[in-house]
Amino acid sequence: MSQTIIVDPVTRIEGHAKVLLDLDDGGKVKSAGLVVNELRGFERILVGMQAATMPAVTARICGVCPSAHAIAAAKAIDAATHAEVPVAGHLLRELLYMGHVIHSHAVHLFALAGPDLLFGVDSDPAKRNIVGIVEAHPVIAKKALRLRSLGQKINETLGGRGVHPVTVVAGGLSFVPTPERMASVTEMATEALALVQELAPPIIQALLALLEKSPQLAGIKQETAYLGTVRNGKLNLYDGTLRLVGADGKILKEFAAAAYAEHLVEHTYDWSYMKPVFAKVDGKEVVYRVGPLARVNLADGMETPLADAALTAFRAQWGRVVHVTALQEHARLIELLYACEKAVLLAKDPAARGNTLAPVTFTAGRGVAHVEAPRGTLLHDYQVDAAGVVRSANLIVATQHNYAAINRSLTQSAEALGVKGPADGNLLNGLEYTIRTYDPCLSCATHAVGRMPMQVSVRKDGVVLYDVRRDS
């Protein structure tokens, strides 16, 4: 008789995710999966809304990456209406977005992953948070908070607001920033670039120390394919061609966002609100990953000098294609460097001055666009009518792409650890590490996964046999 186990982090992430383990007759792990426990149903509720409001409305899908949704939506409506966005409109959207990426990557590195990096994954949970970092490492913490603030303020200066910006609209950017605003953005970007160079060495050092201290982390790896965006072969976050590479780094295919439905397919699980996505390659469905590690794996190189040098060093140390999920943090740092460098370049670019907005005229049509959200490829697809009303909407968000790989890693971890009964703290820790290294942002479907207490409910044919629980 087969059994099902539910690892339930309900007390920490409030019911938005838990883990399910299916056991076979012999009590061995058959499969494991992250259960996403909430649904808001944007693909239905967007229908009937005004297409021009999509950037502002879909920003509300995720308060962790609102600028990514706003840009993906604006670009999709640009495409649906054939709007000719002025160069300055594109450059300033990208600059705003670099601010957002600086903020988002900095939050992740210092507030979400930082506590693990600086204190170790087994340290006192009461101290293992951003407040603990502020107390124990006040200098690093202040600089990190400052870096995050600068990113968010760049995003806000050009977006009107930090969380849920309003200036990213179909046709470009809704206003021409004053010279004062541009001067302040340039100043902030310059300061951010200086700060990130100070912060990078201690982060890399902390990551190396963590891998040494917790060797199980280096064992969590997945040889998957990777999907991300390149422009002229170089990593790009705002726009470009989608590239899928195999686990060996070979390019499997490159395609435009508009063709996503030919290359990607979603499935459903009857036990989770989140849908996994697979890539279609030679008639087969392939598991792949997205996000910073995927992007640095598939790019030929970085467009900016410091980030490119950092990538070269990363590859010299870890190899051309890196599968260890914990090294995601290192990849994120390379992108953080890139975002700061790129922000300075864009802020100083004379082409980013002048008219930012093109007129938009609706005809019945479809628009598909994508952006590299901080955690991976984000796709928006709209059918609009001549009155400018959304008739259908389809979205694929970053964590969905990683979902199959997360579940595969969970299965591997559970197999390796074994399921030993109600007091199995080892299983809980192992599964928690596994999920954390993937940095799943469930906000886009639900919420960000912060930290995870674990509760495992062991079920047999749907009936709970016992719970494995870790309380503080």
Residues 99-128 that bind other proteins (CB under 8 A): 107, 111-112, 115, 125-126, 128
- Closest approach, Cβ 316 to other proteins, in A, equals 34
Q: For the window 140-179, what string marks contact with other proteins as x by the rule CB under 8 A?
A: -----x--xx--xx-----xxxxxx-xx-xxx-xxx----
Nearest to 12 by CA among 104, 105, 115, 125: 125
Listed residue (338, 460, 362) closest to 25, CA to CA: 460
Structure-block tokens of residue 460: 């047999």
Reduce the secondary structure of 377-401 to three states and give it as a string. EEEEEEEECCCCEEEEEEEECHHHH
What phi and psi values does residue 457 have, to the nearest 5 degrees?
A: -100, 120
Q: Per CB under 8 A, which region of 202-210, 320-328, 383-391, 413-421 contacts other proteins?
A: 383-391
Q: How far is the CB of 276 from other proteins (least distance, A)?
A: 10
E strands, 301-424, are 365-373, 376-384, 390-396
**Minimum CB–partner distance for residue 149 and other proteins (Å):** 5
Q: Give the number of C-alpha atoms closer than 13 A to the C-alpha of residue 382, restricted to the C-beta side.
A: 38
Q: Does 391 bind other proteins (CB under 8 A)?
A: yes
Binding segment toward other proteins, per CB under 8 A, in 9-17, 220-228, 302-310, 326-334: 9-17
Quick one: 111 or 225, whose CB is closer to other proteins? 111
Q: Identify the residue among 25, 270, 282, 461 touching other proteins (CB under 8 A).
A: 270
User: In angstroms, what is the minimal distance from the CB of 58 to other proteins?
Assistant: 9
Residue with tokens 């600068």: 150
Which residues make Cβ contacts (< 8 Å) with residue 2, sequence separation at least 6? 22, 23, 24, 25, 30, 460, 461
Contacts of 277 (CB under 8 A, 6+ apart): 264, 265, 266, 267, 396, 400, 401, 403, 404
Instruction: For other proteins, give the closer residue by CB, 313 or 386.
Output: 386
> Which of these segments, 224-232, 263-271, 310-318, 329-337, binds other proteins (CB under 8 A)?
263-271
Q: Please report how close the Cβ of residue 363 comes to other proteins at its closest, in angstroms.
A: 12
Task: Give me the least distance between CB of 400 and other proteins, in Å please.
Answer: 10
The least CB distance from residue 305 to other proteins, in Å, is: 30
* Residue 453 vs residues 24, 96, 158, 470: alpha-carbon distances, Å: 26, 36, 39, 6
Binding-residue total with other proteins (CB under 8 A): 101
Report, in Å, the least distance between residue 206 CB and other proteins: 17
Binders of other proteins among residues 314 to 373 (CB under 8 A) are 357, 359-361
In terms of Cβ atoms closer than 10 Å to its own Cβ (0-12, 13-18, 19+), residue 332 is: buried
Among 30, 231, 253, 275, binds other proteins (CB under 8 A): 275
**Could you tell me if 415 and 430 are in contact, meaning their C-beta atoms sit under 8 angstroms apart?**
no
